[in-house]
Amino acid sequence: MPNGVIRMSNDVQGVVETSLNINVVSMDADKAEICCLIYSLIDRGTLQVEWVLHALGASPAGATKVANGRYPGWKPDANSPVMHVVHGYLSASV
């Protein structure tokens, strides 16, 4: 199962575009529940990760996927003054 950075931004160097973080894993005698937080700057990224999780859990594993809430995508304007400051900071810290 993927965990961590899925894709980096093509627009802003050093910025994560899409990530998946496993939050809580619960198990009992006959099932396991894995709760994940998916974040993406673009809504399509969230949907793609959900699709991958669904495909991984499909037969023969017999898993079901339940989506509870979603963060909306927020793609920054790479040409904004704030992003130039952030980009300069990220470049200096690498």
pLDDT in tens, 14-52: 889 999 998 888 888 888 888 889 999 999 999 999 888
The chain-wide mean pLDDT, for the chain, equals 82
Query: How far is CA 40 from its chain centroid?
Result: 5
pLDDT surpasses 70 at 92: no
Residues 6+ apart with CB under 8 A from 72: 43
Domain boundaries, the chain: 4-93
89/77: higher pLDDT: 77
Between the CA of residue 36 and those of 68, 78, 88, 89, what are the distances in Å?
A: 10, 28, 32, 30
Task: Supply the DSSP symbol for 63.
Answer: -
Using an 8 Å Cβ cutoff, are 81 and 43 in contact? no
